[in-house]
């Protein structure tokens, strides 16, 4: 039984880490585009922003479990089958990219608009504004976005487990629910709670210790 | 030489049109220390935004020597921006970077060598009186110190024009005096042209050689500070002066 749980935990960790990584690789640039393409942005392109914004909203409004099932054919195309750890990662990444895009967007929008204007008047190019102002100034918020994404993905990964996606969720359903092994159910829940707490605390610590504004008056 | 040539800028909301700058002209010689004063809503910040090339006028233009500032595009525009030093009303410092890195920021946008940057930034830190603070973060500084960082940052690219929007309006009288003294010292040492936007007559009186009074988008008075204080001609100037009596 403990082998089973350790395997489940490792699968969950793999799913959560990999899907966080890939959803940031995909969602981060989109979040940046959502900010800079705005009418008042540094590289305005209103139509692009509208289209991207709508796309993000559409995907975000589909309940994850439905999205996951709807994505079966695509997942199968990418990883060869519709279930298991890799299949979960593909579905989670697609579901989380729009979520990450919005988180990154709101993190960057916290940056003082006056500072952006100031950087423009100092002769910063749009690329320099993104890399040297937006990204650096929003580091604490971006770290919090990573944390929030991971925590959300722990939950989504469990849902993916319910449709054969592997990990702790899968075990909880198969053993806990279908075979009435309440102890397994409880242990998986406790493991997920601890996992979420760990993620929360580690990233909170990181965000606070990297924030240079903490010594405020 | 800066030539503001029949500059007009209005804002339109729905059917309403608000003329923030109404056909103003002035010529500012190199090395002048000019104060532009006016009450709230007079159009001062709008004028400064035009001078700093973040707002385009509806009509008229601004010449810097023989360059029409609003005809600049792309690389030329960016190059011109790097030649202007601007001190903003709200400091606008990079909160996640040290004093040193804030001041070095404009230089790091170019391809300047790091040694040269260090040299220049160190001497500016000295000039603005922030020795020992170079690795502090803005959140650890007082308002006056933040303004010093902002001034140093505006000077890093060795501008020919230094624009300051209400550089002292958030500061107490003692700090205001120190900042104005600093600006005067910089002006004396580098002969940079300085334009200060303010609503405080005391700032103009203690720092500027020349003043322009702005009222409802127009320049209503333009001349030497001593002359205007001795014999103001426009009612707005008289009003501003009357409030100041006894204060100075
Ligand atoms: N972006 C804008 N959109 C619409 N109206 C504006 C905008 N900027 C300025 N105005 C209007 O233009 C007029 C002049 O504004 P401006 O900010 O230049 O005044 P100011 O002289 O700097 O005043 P203050 O001393 O209060 O800063 C005001 O009536 C203001 O409402
Ligand atoms: Mg103003």
ipTM confidence: 0.86
Residue B248 banded pLDDT, cuts 50, 70, 90:
very low
Q: How remote is the CA of residue B210 from the centroid of ligand 2, in Å? A: 20
Residue B243, min C-alpha distance to chain A (Å): 32
CATH number, domain containing residue A170: 1.10.3720.10
The mean pLDDT of B149-173, rounded to a whole number, is 90
The mean pLDDT of A112-124, rounded to a whole number, is 92
Q: Do A121 and B79 touch (CB under 8 A)?
A: no
Is the pLDDT assigned to residue B86 strictly greater than 80?
A: yes
Residue B145 banded pLDDT, cuts 50, 70, 90:
very high
The mean pLDDT of B79-84, rounded to a whole number, is 88
The mean pLDDT of B62-74, rounded to a whole number, is 92
- Residue ending a domain, choose from B112, B135, B158: B158
Residue B54 has its nearest CB partner, among A112, A121, A124, at: A121
The CA-atom distances, in angstroms, between B31 and each of A27, A62, A169, B189, B192 are 50, 63, 73, 11, 5
Q: Are residues B188 and B211 in the same domain?
A: yes
Residues 6 or more apart in contact with residue A50 via CB below 8 angstroms: none
The residues of A whose Cβ lies within 8 A of any Cβ of B are 112, 114-115, 117-125, 128, 132-133, 136-137, 139, 211-217
Q: Provide the strand spans (E) within chain B.
A: 2-13, 16-28, 33-38, 59-64, 67-68, 84-87, 161-165, 193-198, 210-215, 218-224
Q: How remote is the CA of residue A49 from the centroid of ligand 1, in Å? A: 29
Residue B172 banded pLDDT, cuts 50, 70, 90:
confident
- Residue ending a domain, choose from B101, B127, B158: B158
- Residue ending a domain, choose from B123, B141, B158: B158
Residue B96 has its nearest CB partner, among A114, A136, A215, at: A136
> What pLDDT does B15 receive?
82
Structural domain of A184 = 2-216
Q: Do B95 and A214 touch (CB under 8 A)?
A: no
Q: Do B81 and A120 touch (CB under 8 A)?
A: yes
Q: Do A213 and B54 touch (CB under 8 A)?
A: no
CATH number, domain containing residue B20: 3.40.50.300
Q: Are residues B78 and B164 in the same domain?
A: yes
Residues 6 or more apart in contact with residue B47 via CB below 8 angstroms: B7, B9, B21, B24, B36, B197, B214
Q: Are residues B166 and B242 in the same domain?
A: yes
Encoding tokens for residue B190?
């580098």
Residue B113, min C-alpha distance to chain A (Å): 17
Q: Are residues B70 and B132 in the same domain?
A: no
Q: Are residues B68 and B125 in the same domain?
A: no
Residue A149, min C-alpha distance to chain B (Å): 23
Q: Are residues B65 and B184 in the same domain?
A: yes
What pTM did the predictor assign? 0.87
3-state secondary structure B141-208: CCHHHHHHHHHHHHHCCCCCEEEEECCCCCCCHHHHHHHHHHHHHHHHHHCCEEEEEECCHHHHHHHC
- How many domains, chain B? 2
Q: How remote is the CA of residue B122 from the centroid of ligand 2, in Å? A: 32
Residue B105 has its nearest CB partner, among A122, A125, A213, at: A122
The CA-atom distances, in angstroms, between B192 and each of B84, B161, B198 are 10, 6, 19
> What pLDDT does B135 receive?
95
Q: Are residues B175 and B187 in the same domain?
A: yes
- How many domains, chain A? 1
Residue A214 banded pLDDT, cuts 50, 70, 90:
low
Q: Are residues B149 and B175 in the same domain?
A: no
Query: Which residues from A are below 8 Å from B45, CB to CB?
Result: none
Q: Are residues B226 and B128 in the same domain?
A: no
- Could you tell which of B38, B46, B215 is best to mutate to test the pocket of ligand 1, judged by most ligand atoms within 8 Å of the CB? B46
Structural domain of B115 = 91-158
């Amino acid at each position: 039984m403990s082998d089973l749980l350790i395997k489940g935990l490792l699968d969950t960790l793999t799913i959560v880490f990999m899907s966080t990584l890939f959803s940031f690789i995909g969602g981060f640039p989109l979040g940046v585009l959502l900010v800079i393409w705005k009418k008042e942005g540094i590289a305005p392109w209103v139509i692009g922003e509208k289209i991207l914004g709508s796309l993000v909203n559409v995907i975000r409004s589909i309940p994850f479990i439905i999205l996951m099932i709807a994505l079966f054919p695509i997942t199968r195309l990418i990883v060869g089958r519709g279930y298991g750890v890799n299949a979960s990662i593909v579905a989670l990444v697609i579901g989380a990219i729009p979520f990450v895009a919005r988180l990154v967007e709101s993190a960057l929008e916290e940056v003082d608009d006056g500072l952006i204007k100031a950087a423009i008047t100092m002769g910063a190019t749009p690329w320099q504004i993104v890399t040297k102002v937006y990204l650096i100034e929003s580091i604490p918020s971006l770290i919090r976005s990573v944390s929030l994404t991971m925590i959300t993905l722990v939950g989504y990964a469990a849902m993916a487990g319910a449709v054969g996606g592997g990990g702790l969720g899968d075990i909880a359903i198969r053993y806990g629910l279908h075979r009435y092994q309440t102890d397994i159910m409880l242990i998986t829940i406790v493991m997920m709670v601890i996992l979420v707490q760990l993620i929360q605390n580690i990233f909170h610590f990181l965000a606070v210790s990297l924030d240079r504004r903490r010594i405020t008056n | 030489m800066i030539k503001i040539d029949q500059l007009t800028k209005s804002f339109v909301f729905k059917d309403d049109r608000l003329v923030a700058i109404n056909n103003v002209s002035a010529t500012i010689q190199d090395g002048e220390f000019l104060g532009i004063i006016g009450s709230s809503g007079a159009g001062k910040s709008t004028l400064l935004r035009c001078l700093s090339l973040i707002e385009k006028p509806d009509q008229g233009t601004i010449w810097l020597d023989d360059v029409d500032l609003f005809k600049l595009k792309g690389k030329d525009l960016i190059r011109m921006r790097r030649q202007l030093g601007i001190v903003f009303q709200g400091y606008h410092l990079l909160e996640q970077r040290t004093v040193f890195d804030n001041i070095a920021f404009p230089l790091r946008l170019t391809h300047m060598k790091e040694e040269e940057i260090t040299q220049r930034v160190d001497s500016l830190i000295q000039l603005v009186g922030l020795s020992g603070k170079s690795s502090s973060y803005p959140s650890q500084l007082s308002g006056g110190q933040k303004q010093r960082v902002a001034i140093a940052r505006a000077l890093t690219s060795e501008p020919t024009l230094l624009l300051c929007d209400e550089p002292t309006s958030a500061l107490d009288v003692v700090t205001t005096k120190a900042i104005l003294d600093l600006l005067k010292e910089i002006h004396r040492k580098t002969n940079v042209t300085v334009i200060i936007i303010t609503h405080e007559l005391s700032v103009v009186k203690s720092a500027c050689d020349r003043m322009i009074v702005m009222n409802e988008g127009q320049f209503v008075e333009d001349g030497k500070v001593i002359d205007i204080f001795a014999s103001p001609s426009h009612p707005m100037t008289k009003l501003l002066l009357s409030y100041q009596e006894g204060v100075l």
